[in-house]
Amino acid sequence: MRAYSTAVQEFITDFDLISSDGSVSFDAIVQFKVKEKTTQYKTTVQVVTIESKRTDAIYLFNKDIASDLFPNTFKNTKDNVYYIDERYLMIISDNASHGDFKAFIYPKVAINNASEVEDVSTFI
């Protein structure tokens, strides 16, 4: 898989997230930060390149995310996506329920190296 976004491609490459069939699906911890409040979820993440729209879509498959009125789909053409080297993928966005927020995606393979991830002991 080749992502359109450089940030998404570097994230996938650095954490070796491409499976043998070429898909990108992995377990992660996702944190949503709104002002001073952080909400954390364990989820499966899938990254799909949509050729016809020249964009990358990031899907979060934990149903509690949508229940808590956070988005469970991001696109690099709509949301601001940044890769913080060897730590996480950060998405800056907004929605009607929470206003401005940041989402941090920590792949399971990175959790042992990411000291700023809170409450990861329940993930492993």
Predicted confidence (pLDDT) per residue in 4-16, tens digit: 899 999 999 999 9
- Alpha-carbon gap, residue 94 to 8, rounded angstroms: 19
Predicted confidence (pLDDT) per residue in 17-61, tens digit: 999 999 999 999 999 999 989 999 999 999 999 988 888 999 999
Note if the pTM is more than 0.85.
Answer: yes
Helix (H) or strand (E) holding 42: strand 37-50
CATH 1.20.58 fits 6-111, yes or no: no
Residues with Cβ within 8 Å of 104's Cβ and at least 6 positions away in sequence, in order, are 30, 31, 33, 88, 89, 90, 91
Nearest to 105 by CA among 64, 78, 74, 66: 74
